[in-house]
Amino acid sequence: MIARTHDLAAITGLTIVVIVLSPLPPLSLATILVALLANQLGGIAPDIDQPTAPFWRNLPIGGLFGRMVGRMLGGHRFLTHSLLGLWLVGFLFHTLLLFLQPIMPHVEIEYVWWAFMIGMVSHLIMDSFTKEGVPWLLPLPIKFGFPPVRKLRITTGKFGEKYILFPLLALVLIGICCLYYPDLVDLFHRRITE
């Protein structure tokens, strides 16, 4: 999948979880904003193993670092696209949040961590719809995809993703926001004013 599809999938997943788990305890505006940023980072984090990923393109010598990291992680769609990688990256991100906690005293890091993980899981789910699939059970060398028939899956950046999957995700997000608009407004209004 391309980055914008992962971005949209991450925020759609986060919105669904927030609605399902509502009412959440009041959160500071800082927590909400950092959680939204973490969600978007989580949505692209598994592609850290790809030198051409948006994360590396936005750094001055990102291509070089991207190639080194990609080799260390076994190449694209290997470690970071598995349950093992999900656990490892989640652990490292939680450790980073604990380290940064002193400079973010009004940010509840557990919510930020969950937002990041929702983004990561959405990435793996979306990549499961592609022809290549995802090695969910690494170190088992089996890539899983949906539907199971490879020919019926989506090719990254092509018609199925651009004109079917992306608009479908957008409609789901818009539909959820419209359907639960009063709840979302109350949720954010209550958190920001408290």
Instruction: Note the pLDDT of residue 72.
Output: 73
Contacts of residue 191, defined as CB under 8 A and 6 or more positions apart, other chains included, come to 24, 26, 27, 28, 29, 32
Residue type at 33?
L
Q: Any idea how long the chain is?
A: 194
Distance CA 32, CA 104 (A): 13
Q: What is the 3-state secondary structure (H, E, C) of 148-165?
A: CCHHHCECCCCHHHHHHH
In this predicted model, what pLDDT tens digit does every residue of 35-83 receive, in sequence order?
999 999 999 999 888 877 777 777 777 777 777 776 777 767 788 899 9
Is the model's pTM score more than 0.75? yes
Give the Cα separation of 107 and 23 in Å (integer). Answer: 18
pLDDT at 191: 54
